[in-house]
Structure 1
Amino acid sequence: MSTTTDQLWLPGHRCAALIAPAIDRVFRAAMSAGTDAGAELRQRYGGPAAIGFLVDLRTRLAAPGGTVDAAGFAAVTRYQEPASCQRMLDKQVAYGMVVRHPDGALRATERGGAFLTELYALHAAVTATIWGGEPAARLARLVDLTGRLLAEARADGQQQPSPSAFGALAPPYEPEGTPAGVLLLNRLEVLRHHRADAHAAAWAAAGHTARSIVGLPPGPQRLAIEQETDRRAAGPYQALDPDQRVTLLADLAALPG
């Protein structure tokens, strides 16, 4: 029996559930390749203690004058111990990579910005290597579709929890001439934070904390939270028609990683 578009149609919550692991797989593979290739770059700027959170916050701090406020930083690092995060930031400030304003907002210094410029170039080279064998049309479609999702997610911002990791890191900084691989990598990261916010809202509504949800075993309560996460994360997928939802899933599945 032939498969029709109607049979392939994915409702928003189901699309969110299927897309999430596909995004994670592709994103993690690309970032792992970037970590392997970036050892010399990291050491040249002072190593892990100096780089700290710059890689995680790059989509905003790479922008001229870009900042991440204290609430947004707390959302991005919600599963980490706050005091440890602040100690790490202290080291970045001492290395001259980050400025921490009195209200807790973070901004890259000139040196931090130079690192991020080189990081974007590194990610361009890495993604060209791992995705360079893919049809250009596939990458172009993925860039277009993820751009639509981000635009819809930003327009639907009232559905996000406060503080919001997505709100802290979106829109990703995309200077003119940014290669398709970097556009896709950074858009996937910001979309991951959109889902992370939906997950945080779901477990908070169920009475959990960042600490307790990590230890929650599989079972009915965990399943209910995951289903509520899918529902809360579904909004951006309304921007895609049925064919585009299937295409997005298929194109992500086709990428190596």
Structure 2
Amino acid sequence: MSYARLVRPVIDRVYVGARWAARARMEEFYADRGASLGLENSFFSGVLARPMPAEALVDALVYTDGDMTAELAEGVVVIDDDGNWRLTERGRELALFAQRATAEAAAELWTSGPSLLPGLSSLPRLADLVGRVLERGLASGGPAFRAMVPVYEPDDASPAMRLVTRLGGLRHHRADAHRAAWRAAGLTVEQIMALPDGPERQAIEAETDRLDEPAYAVLSAAERLELLAGLGALPS
């Protein structure tokens, strides 16, 4: 098994766990402002730094209906003259809260484990390792990844904020790789979503691994194990 495939479920567990831990506080904040969770919430890692190109958004939402009616109606985003999706002042307020709430929830979650686990003390190192992977991934990532990276980090970002924000960006490297793999195999989104396990699915997953792997080449073998073990030790 490739390292890229081995580490991906660990990345997903850590990131999604932090996001779910923050969901209640995000929903309360949004409800007070008459807004619903949307693009600015899902993609805060990138949209706080730059407008999101239309091509990147289409790819990122390819498994959904891609409907952006709510975001436009609520004044969260606008489409600029180049067709990019740009946060409004209202959208930026929501996205900044989403980032902060996710980081706060993550820090609370990651201190809830047994005292024998490193917890928050491991975050600066893990954030550094993920940051190096992100930088290397710019040479191999697709549209969604390039829209997300470099990620947005305020000057006073905590280690928890740096790690969750960077993991949010990193997940798009493999997502781009997977889309490239099934498209190269001549499949539509409906076909890949319905494709059962078997030789064709396994070939697509192997190609996804091949396209995803270069981002991790920047890490030594020991650093790869350190990243896998460090993320795996974080409570979720």
TM-score of the two chains, using structure 2 as the length reference: 0.92
**2:135 maps to 1:151:** yes
Once the two structures are superposed, residues 126-157 of structure 1 have per-residue CA deviations (whole angstroms, 9 ceiling, x without a partner) of 12201135444311221011001001001x1x
Q: CA deviation at 1:117?
A: 2.1
CA distance in 2, matches of 1:147, 1:166: 13
1:175 pairs with 133, 136, 154, which one? Answer: 154
* TM-score of the aligned structures, taking structure 1 as reference length: 0.85
CA RMSD of aligned residues (A): 1.6
Moved more, 89-98 or 68-77: 89-98
Q: Which structure has the greater CA radius of gyration?
A: 1
Question: For structure 1, which segment, 122-131 or 134-143, has the greater mean C-alpha deviation from structure 2 after superposition?
Answer: 134-143
Give deviations 1:107-142, integer Å, cap 9, x for gaps: 111111112222222123212201135444311221
Distance 2:119 2:14 in 1: 16
Between the two proteins, the alignment pairs up a number of residues equal to 231
Matching of residues 153-232 of structure 1 within 5 Å: 153-154=137-138, 156=139, 159-161=140-142, 164-232=143-211
Give the alignment of 1:18-97 within 5 angstroms. 18-48=6-36, 51-63=37-49, 66-82=50-66, 85=67, 89-97=68-76
Whole-Å Cα distance in 1 between the matches of residues 218 and 141 of structure 2? 17
Look up the equivalent residue of 1:69 and give its one-letter code. Answer: P
Distance 1:36 1:186 in 2: 19
Alignment-derived partner of residue 115 in structure 2:
none
Q: What is residue 244 of structure 1 aligned with on the other side? A: 223
1:6 aligns with none
Structure 2 gap ranges (5+): 113-117
CA drift at 1:102: 4.2
**Unaligned ranges ≥5, structure 1:** 1-12
Conserved? CA contact 1:203–1:225, under 8 Å? yes
Q: Percent identity?
A: 37
SS of 2:86 mapped into structure 1: strand
Structure 1 residues 136 and 33: CA distance shift in structure 2, 3 A = closer
